[in-house]
């Protein structure tokens, strides 16, 4: 099939590349000249495991191309995916101006055969209706198109894997031709992986996405709530949560306490869902509680550091991990940045290391020292603060780390290390909920 994908962020670029891998003829559109220049050289502008190989292979095979013009791609395609960003407005609502802008441009070029416009980005319920109205308002004929919701469930760091072997494919389509077209898009993937397809209404699909992210964020905030209770009561949160998670109705995944969730999705989507509830006349207290506990998680951690180190002014503090989670170079809403901000404000001298996110962080926070590895961070440090649970931190030579530090104190915001082992090695160790 001929497919256009508008927007080449994490969702758009992964979706477009994976659709090409499924055998479709894909044009990815972006209006950012810097990004496009890289993509035209078949270089991925983001770090995402496996993505570069797929771009090279599919662009090489002539199935994947990049352009900045929406017009020709819309004219030539049977299916058009909207994958632009839906950032958070200051009041928490999702900012849909890019979605609307793209809808208007699509309307101008919608001609010829019947086409399906797919909302892939995370949007509040009833956005597809607005997209449809916009396309009609700007001149398209209503028999020529349908608007479908096909939410994406990919996680940064495993985006390719999540797309090529999904838990489920959700298609929200209200007409038979739209359902057929979408089945055609995903047929190669369904045949290969047996992934279940949930064919639902457009509005249900939109709510599935916000509902799923809210539930996942709720699990994290629940884990943090239990961790905070364990800290006060003198219990071990990992023991408690493991046992709770063994009930298969609950499940053990996504129950890791720490310094809270960050990233480009949860904070924005949870806030937007809260606003959607408000619009629907429903009390948003569930969502507010998730957000409140997430803020408390980082506050409690910072208080622990301040209580132990007392005066931070002039203290050498090493930060391990900058990305909002492992296997990505993304620092959007990264808890590490909040920790650094606060330590800096108190006058601490900060050195930091992250396996992938140093380049991005250096642009945002140029005034701290960036090190070549964790050992360099440890050298002379009066405390280490772990903000991201990178696998490589789990394999550090901890005896060496201890010998390099001036005072061996570790604040482990992701429970990467074993408290007994750390104490046995002579560290003063603080985990979360342990």
List contacts with ligand UGA (CB under 6 A).
122, 152-156, 213, 216, 220, 223, 254-256, 258, 261-263, 265-266, 269, 324-325
d(CA 75, CA 118): 15
Contact 51, 14 (CB under 8 A): yes
Q: In this structure, what token pair is assigned to residue 141? A: 């004929």
Q: State the minimum distance, in angstroms, from the CB of residue 268 to ligand UGA.
A: 9
d(CA 215, CA 219): 6
Contact 262, 333 (CB under 8 A): yes
Q: State the minimum distance, in angstroms, from the CB of residue 27 to ligand UGA.
A: 23
Q: Establish whether 265 is a catalytic residue.
A: yes
Task: Using the minimum distance from each CB to ligand UGA, give the nearer residue, 254 or 375.
Answer: 254
- The residue behind tokens 């809808």 is 103
Task: Using the minimum distance from each CB to ligand UGA, give the nearer residue, 145 or 324.
Answer: 324
Separation of CA 294 from chain center? 16
Task: Using the minimum distance from each CB to ligand UGA, give the nearer residue, 217 or 398.
Answer: 217
Q: State the minimum distance, in angstroms, from the CB of residue 37 to ligand UGA.
A: 26
Closest by Cα among 352, 357, 362, 363 to 386: 352
Task: Using the minimum distance from each CB to ligand UGA, give the nearer residue, 44 or 105.
Answer: 44
Task: Using the minimum distance from each CB to ligand UGA, give the nearer residue, 84 or 110.
Answer: 84
Sequence-ordered alpha helix ranges (H) in 251-334: 266-279, 285-309
Q: State the minimum distance, in angstroms, from the CB of residue 272 to ligand UGA.
A: 11
Q: State the minimum distance, in angstroms, from the CB of residue 263 to ligand UGA.
A: 4
Catalytic pick among 18, 121, 265, 371: 265
Number of other CB atoms surrounding residue 392 within 10 Å:
13
Task: Using the minimum distance from each CB to ligand UGA, give the nearer residue, 178 or 322.
Answer: 322
Burial of residue 95, with CB atoms counted within 10 A of its CB: 0-12 exposed, 13-18 middle, 19 or more buried: middle
Separation of CA 158 from chain center? 10
Rg (CA), the chain: 23
Q: What beta strand segments (E) does 133-227 contain?
A: 145-149, 169-172, 197-200
Q: State the minimum distance, in angstroms, from the CB of residue 158 to ligand UGA.
A: 8
Number of other CB atoms surrounding residue 358 within 10 Å:
18
Q: Point out the residues that are catalytic.
A: 265
């Amino acid at each position: 099939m001929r497919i256009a994908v508008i927007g080449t962020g994490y969702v758009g670029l992964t979706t477009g590349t994976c659709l090409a891998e499924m055998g479709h003829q894909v044009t990815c559109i972006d209006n950012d000249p810097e990004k496009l220049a890289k993509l035209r050289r078949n270089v991925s502008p983001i770090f995402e495991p496996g993505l570069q190989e797929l771009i090279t292979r599919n662009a090489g095979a002539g199935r994947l191309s990049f352009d900045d013009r929406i017009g020709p791609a819309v004219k030539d395609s049977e299916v058009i995916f909207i994958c632009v960003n839906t950032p958070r407005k200051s009041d928490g609502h999702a900012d849909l101006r890019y979605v609307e802008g793209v809808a208007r441009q699509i309307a101008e070029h919608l001609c010829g055969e019947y086409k399906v416009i797919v909302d892939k980005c995370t949007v509040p319920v009833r956005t597809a209706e607005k997209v449809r109205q916009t396309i009609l308002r700007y001149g398209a004929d209503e028999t020529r198109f349908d608007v479908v919701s096909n939410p994406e469930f990919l996680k940064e760091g495993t985006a390719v894997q999540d797309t090529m072997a999904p838990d489920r494919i959700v298609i929200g389509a209200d007409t038979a031709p739209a359902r057929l077209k979408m089945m055609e898009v995903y047929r190669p993937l369904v045949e290969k992986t047996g992934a279940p397809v949930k064919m639902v209404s457009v509005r249900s699909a939109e709510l599935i996405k916000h509902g799923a992210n809210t539930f996942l964020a709720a699990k994290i905030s629940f884990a943090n709530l239990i961790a905070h209770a364990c800290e006060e009561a003198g219990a071990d949160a990992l023991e408690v949560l493991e046992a709770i998670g063994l009930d298969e109705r609950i499940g053990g995944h996504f129950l890791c306490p720490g310094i809270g969730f960050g990233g480009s999705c949860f904070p924005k989507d949870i806030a937007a869902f809260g606003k959607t509830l408000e619009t629907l006349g429903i009390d948003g207290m569930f969502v507010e509680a998730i957000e409140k506990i997430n803020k408390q998680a980082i506050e409690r951690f910072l208080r622990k550091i301040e209580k132990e180190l007392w005066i931070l002014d002039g203290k050498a503090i090493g930060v391990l991990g900058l990305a909002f989670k492992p296997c990505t170079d993304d620092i959007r809403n990264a808890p590490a940045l909040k920790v650094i901000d606060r330590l800096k404000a108190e006058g601490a001298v900060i050195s930091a290391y992250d396996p992938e996110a140093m380049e991005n962080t250096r642009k945002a926070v140029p005034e701290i020292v960036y090190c070549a590895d964790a050992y360099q961070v440890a050298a002379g440090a009066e405390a280490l603060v772990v903000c991201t649970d990178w696998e490589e931190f789990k394999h550090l030579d901890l005896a060496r780390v201890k010998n390099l530090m001036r005072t061996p104190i570790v604040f482990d915001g992701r429970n990467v290390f074993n408290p007994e082992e750390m104490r046995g090695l002579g560290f003063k160790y603080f985990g979360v909920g342990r």
